[in-house]
Structure 1
Amino acid sequence: MPDARTPPTRRPNFLLFITDQQRADHLGAYGNPVVRTPHLDRLAAGGWQADRCHVASPICMPNRGSLMTGRMPSVHGARHNGIPLPLDARTFVERLREEGWRTALVGKSHLQNITGFPAQYPRADAPPTRGEARRQPAGRYDQEREPSWDGDPAFELDLPFYGFESVDLVINHGDTAGGHYRRWLQREHPGVAAVVGPEHAIPTPEFELSRCRQAWRTRVPEELSTTSFVAMRTRERLSRFAAGGQPFFVQCSFPDPHHPFTPPGRFWDMYRPEDMTLPPSFHMARSGPMPHLDWMHAERDQGKAVKHSPAMFAANEREVREALALNYGSIAHIDEAIGSVLRHLESLGLEQDTVVIFTSDHGDYFGDHQLLWKGPLHYQGLTRVPLIWHDPDAALAGRSSQLCSTIDLAPTILARAGCTPYNGIQGRSLLDRQAPPRQALLIEEEGQRVMFGFPGRTRMRTLQTERHRLSIYAGAEWGELYDLHDDPHESRNLWDDAGHATLRHELLHQLSRLMIEAADESPSPTALA
């Protein structure tokens, strides 16, 4: 790739594909032998692929905020789901728009709250307060709230929305997703809109995930699914921008393959649960302090596991096999949709002027250590995401094993565009060939929920190095330490191992330094005190 200090000969377009809750190894290009993703595999083969890209936080809103700002969640303000990205936050999309790029978002945003649940002041697990230390910046924070869209057919976003001059919004997951998608389906296909949801689904009594409403066989045909809608609207947006003559940035954001799983038509049974292979750690013996994982398993074994919510739970073998099969079907559907967008890009004659990027907002356990979904246990399957960069003008190709983060996307896109970044970006441009490789990454998580038997909500920090992963939890004397070279499935927690005491102290020191480096530097001081 060109050096970041060398401006491009022409202003490129950008097409960013992002999926929701897709781990890196659920792509053929990342070594998965089962799921079929020919279009994404071809994109990776002709571009650059990061093998060690980790999220800033393995939760939707915080990491999407980090992607948009190039800043850590503790700095940009959306620390966990339920806290919107402040409307006064600077985004790289806004910066591109300032420099003349047309900007559009198609699909999921999730930069603001989507549920109708009210704020809790104070929370049940917190001491009494009188208000908040920080006031919410002015502006509308109801713009992605699903009840607002459902209750008012004229409800709309204020544009530009975090830098996007146009938005075709999809809210939530499954065939009941809302926003512009629901309105389109109700207007253009009212008969189909009337049969969405688990209560109208094709019966699948053999699926355990159907019983807890984590999967259902939808009656929505493939061509009317949320995935197809997002691809269709993206193609339309590309056509409009192509006629305008200005460079553009289009974010094509699929709400799948996040649960609940509703892959339509042939994608439901494209893969059979019986054919799925459980991850190696599912039956692997464990050692070292693991009270959090033991707690999850005990909840399941005592029949207390909550399986109908978005939160993680310990699963049985059948549930994991079903989740894998349906996830693969959803990914195959997305891959076909991406293929249609790429063909349209080519038909418009834009393929030689457009940087195409693919990533995900976070991963999923999918049976790692008998868990499903996501939560405050930073196994590699959860924090490691795909990152593919296909650039017609770039010299760099192949694969990279260097550590990179979600926060690196904003400065990399701005560097490729030739735009001066704003102060406070914490990521690094992946185009800067003069910069030394990262030695470690910081991953943050602030939980909404009380878990693992902790007295309050789970809060943690993780240090990810080339060889090790260290995680610490607020209020816990124990932590996690894994040697990923010797133990790639993270089954031997070395936290209490006497032979690794020095290493643990060294990594804790490294983590403390990273946390200091992650402190905000914006705004810059304007005068000496």
Structure 2
Amino acid sequence: MTKQPNFLFIITDQHRADHLGCYGNRLVRTPNIDRIAEGGTRWDRFYVANPICMPNRASIMTGRMCSVHGARHNGIPLSKDHTTFVELLRDAGYNTGLIGKSHLQSFTGLPATKKFEAKEGASAPSQHLRDAYKNNRHSPDYDLEVAPRWDTPLAERLKGDFYGFGHVEVCADHGDQASGDYLLWAREQHPDFDGLTGPGNALPSNRIDAPQAWRTAVPEELYSTSWVAERSESWLTQHAEQDAPFFLQMSFPDPHHPFTPPGRYWDMYDPADVSLPASFGKGDLPPIKAMRDAMKKGTDPRDNQNPFVVTENEARAIIALTYGMITMIDDAIGRVLARLEALGLANNTVVIFTSDHGDYMGDHGLMLKLLLHFQGIIRVPFIWKDPAASADGKVEMGLGSSIDIAATILARAGITPFNGIQGRDLLTTEPPEAIIVEEDSQRTMTGFERPQRVRTVVTDRYRMSLREDEGWNELYDLKRDPEEVVNLFDDRSSKDARHALTEAMLRRMIELQDRAPLPAYRA
């Protein structure tokens, strides 16, 4: 019997595809990630199932769309009633580990903005009947990642595994505000670690003037990126002599905002060398106009998770800092890949690299994410390097989705997927006509009067996004307008394209209707 392969699954956070050297970026230095691509296959058109952290991470774990697994937006954890591909690996004898960001459960502890509301003049149902799901994931079992309550390691609070991971060391939050098991470790290393974090403790030589950016006093060796690498090396060393194959998810919380690369990574890139996106300052969608007005009036705080408009100098500064965070991650990946080699594991380890979603990073003058499905948000890197089938830098142009990751890993491990998995094996099946991106919001944001529900279809040539209860939608010809500046949705000459896309969207959404559970009987 052929020995099952090991897997090293590397995932970054809020990292758009074109912020890597192997995806054409000429400034950011990512030699280690580039080498993975040089020895494997890089997907050029790989898209998220949802451009938000929790929903897309849940889709990666289950191989299912958010409308099916139910984690529709941040604040809804992945139900333990839903099967993950990691559980199947563990069931098949794999040692499974997670080092770094999980975000399969909420970690802020902040109250939800959407709650049950009884109708005036009508009686309210009992508490357990106020949701379509009686198990609505509000129990203590789904509070395991809440950062303010994280006073003991997650592993000590678990009963069994964590969504299939037999070993967990988790980092919540981002930048030098990272918490969780990482923060417990950092406090052990430095008795006054909390006095190094946050803008109030920033180093005085801060040459950057941009929202959510400060020069952290946290040294490189105590920063979360270094911790993820160190703990991953340790886990690999412990499993090197074991007969069982392994699956290790090495999950970095960067390059997500706040923008706080430590040490030499802070000024590794000069903002003056950064080129702005071609779409910077362009576009006339209603929310973009509203965000521009908010910046001029000073009414947008620009210090939270919501998207906001930036000046040219701010955009260049933030992109430069993001490049620093990415290069630090690349250096950390280099360390772990070197350890794989030293341990004699590289020849039987499939290395996978992706991100959970992208960032505007100056597209149309915007920063962060949410609600507008430009390519910088929904297109992410996906690289697969298999030592048993070297592809020597192959570039795959077919459409791929985050829901395909689970099916591809299971196929390579020789494990039959569970009923209801919606993704495909990227290595042996043909790409679909279209992919779907879903997004629901829980709160209102600048430029939007109500929480949004958006559905996007992407084909070889077009991207169309339809919104619930808005007077505008989007349609872009990606071949003629790759920067997505000219919205063709109401253009009469694009009527045929719009109709064809609508049909393709419906066909794909029908295909993605749930096929679980299995029937118990014929009738």
How would you bin the TM-score normalised by the shorter chain? over 0.9
2:97 match: 104
Instruction: Report the CA distance between 1:452 and its aligned residue.
Output: 5.5
- 1:179-194 aligned at under 5 Å gives the runs 179-194=180-195
2:294 match: 299
In 2, the alpha carbon distance for the partners of 1:170 and 1:446 equals 25
1:144 matched to 2:145? yes
Please give the secondary structure, in 2, of the residue aligned with 1:508. Answer: helix
1:513 matched to 2:507? yes
AA aligned to 1:411 is: A
CA offsets 1:18-53 (integer angstroms, 9 cap, x no match): 000000000000000000001111111011100000
Instruction: Report the CA distance between 1:119 and its aligned residue.
Output: 3.6
Q: CA contact under 8 A between 2:16 and 2:355: conserved in structure 1?
A: yes
- 1:224-239 aligned at under 5 Å gives the runs 224-239=222-237
Instruction: Report the CA distance between 1:411 and its aligned residue.
Output: 0.2
Indicate how the Cα distance of structure 1 residues 174 and 258 shifts in structure 2: closer, same or farther if over 3 A, else same. Answer: same
Q: CA contact under 8 A between 2:287 and 2:448: conserved in structure 1?
A: no
Instruction: Report the CA distance between 1:274 and its aligned residue.
Output: 2.1
Q: CA contact under 8 A between 1:159 and 1:166: conserved in structure 2?
A: no
Please give the secondary structure, in 2, of the residue aligned with 1:472. Answer: strand
1:523 matched to 2:521? no
In 2, the alpha carbon distance for the partners of 1:248 and 1:221 equals 32
In 2, the alpha carbon distance for the partners of 1:153 and 1:422 equals 28
Q: 2:48 aligns with which of 52, 55, 58?
A: 55
Q: CA contact under 8 A between 2:291 and 2:309: conserved in structure 1?
A: yes
Instruction: Report the CA distance between 1:306 and its aligned residue.
Output: 2.8
1:207 match: 208
AA aligned to 1:465 is: T
AA aligned to 1:378 is: H
1:313 matched to 2:312? no
Q: 1:450 aligns with which of 437, 444, 448?
A: 444
Please give the secondary structure, in 2, of the residue aligned with 1:343. Answer: helix
Indicate how the Cα distance of structure 1 residues 159 and 208 shifts in structure 2: closer, same or farther if over 3 A, else same. Answer: farther
AA aligned to 1:64 is: R
In 2, the alpha carbon distance for the partners of 1:55 and 1:348 equals 34
Indicate how the Cα distance of structure 1 residues 418 and 305 shifts in structure 2: closer, same or farther if over 3 A, else same. Answer: same
Q: 1:408 aligns with which of 395, 404, 408?
A: 404
TM-score in terms of structure 1 length: 0.93
AA aligned to 2:147 is: E
CA offsets 1:80-121 (integer angstroms, 9 cap, x no match): 001000011100000000000000000000000001113456
AA aligned to 1:261 is: F
Please give the secondary structure, in 2, of the residue aligned with 1:169. Answer: strand
2:430 match: 436
Q: CA contact under 8 A between 2:106 and 2:146: conserved in structure 1?
A: yes
- 1:72-91 aligned at under 5 Å gives the runs 72-91=65-84
Instruction: Report the CA distance between 1:242 and its aligned residue.
Output: 1.0
Q: CA contact under 8 A between 2:105 and 2:145: conserved in structure 1?
A: yes
CA offsets 1:365-386 (integer angstroms, 9 cap, x no match): 0000000000110000110101
In 1, the alpha carbon distance for the partners of 2:390 and 2:330 equals 26
AA aligned to 1:329 is: G
1:481 matched to 2:480? no
Please give the secondary structure, in 2, of the residue aligned with 1:62. Answer: helix
1:493 matched to 2:494? no
CA offsets 1:196-218 (integer angstroms, 9 cap, x no match): 22111102554222xx4x12111
Number of residues of Structure 1 aligned to a counterpart in Structure 2: 514
Please give the secondary structure, in 1, of the residue aligned with 2:292. Answer: helix
In 2, the alpha carbon distance for the partners of 1:152 and 1:44 equals 35
Unaligned runs of 5+ in 1: 1-7
Deviates more, 1:391-400 or 1:349-358: 391-400
AA aligned to 1:412 is: T
CA offsets 1:369-413 (integer angstroms, 9 cap, x no match): 000000110000110101110100115441111100000000000
AA aligned to 1:320 is: A
Indicate how the Cα distance of structure 1 residues 45 and 153 shifts in structure 2: closer, same or farther if over 3 A, else same. Answer: closer
Instruction: Report the CA distance between 1:125 and its aligned residue.
Output: 13
Instruction: Report the CA distance between 1:291 and its aligned residue.
Output: 1.8
In 2, the alpha carbon distance for the partners of 1:132 and 1:67 equals 26
TM-score in terms of structure 2 length: 0.94
Q: CA contact under 8 A between 1:149 and 1:155: conserved in structure 2?
A: no
Instruction: Report the CA distance between 1:315 and its aligned residue.
Output: 1.3
2:458 match: 464
Q: CA contact under 8 A between 1:116 and 1:145: conserved in structure 2?
A: yes
In 1, the alpha carbon distance for the partners of 2:152 and 2:201 equals 22
CA offsets 1:432-473 (integer angstroms, 9 cap, x no match): 1xx333211000001122136544201100000010000011
CA offsets 1:43-65 (integer angstroms, 9 cap, x no match): 11011100000000000000000
Q: 1:381 aligns with which of 362, 372, 376?
A: 376
CA offsets 1:332-378 (integer angstroms, 9 cap, x no match): 00000000000000000000010000000000000000000001100
1:133 matched to 2:132? yes
In 1, the alpha carbon distance for the partners of 2:490 and 2:448 equals 20
1:41 match: 34
In 2, the alpha carbon distance for the partners of 1:151 and 1:9 equals 41
AA aligned to 1:282 is: F
Q: 1:347 aligns with which of 335, 338, 342?
A: 342
Unaligned runs of 5+ in 2: none
Deviates more, 1:270-279 or 1:331-340: 270-279
Please give the secondary structure, in 1, of the residue aligned with 2:184. Answer: helix
In 2, the alpha carbon distance for the partners of 1:333 and 1:352 equals 25
Q: CA contact under 8 A between 2:45 and 2:400: conserved in structure 1?
A: yes
Instruction: Report the CA distance between 1:491 and its aligned residue.
Output: 0.4
What RMSD in Å do the two structures reach over aligned CA positions?
2.1
Instruction: Report the CA distance between 1:517 and its aligned residue.
Output: 1.8
In 1, the alpha carbon distance for the partners of 2:118 and 2:435 equals 31
Indicate how the Cα distance of structure 1 residues 121 and 34 shifts in structure 2: closer, same or farther if over 3 A, else same. Answer: closer
Instruction: Report the CA distance between 1:151 and its aligned residue.
Output: 8.6
Indicate how the Cα distance of structure 1 residues 91 and 267 shifts in structure 2: closer, same or farther if over 3 A, else same. Answer: same
Q: CA contact under 8 A between 2:99 and 2:232: conserved in structure 1?
A: yes
Q: CA contact under 8 A between 2:144 and 2:154: conserved in structure 1?
A: no
AA aligned to 1:48 is: T
In 1, the alpha carbon distance for the partners of 2:118 and 2:24 equals 43
1:370 matched to 2:371? no
Instruction: Report the CA distance between 1:152 and its aligned residue.
Output: 9.3
1:419 matched to 2:420? no
1:3 match: none
Q: CA contact under 8 A between 2:206 and 2:215: conserved in structure 1?
A: no
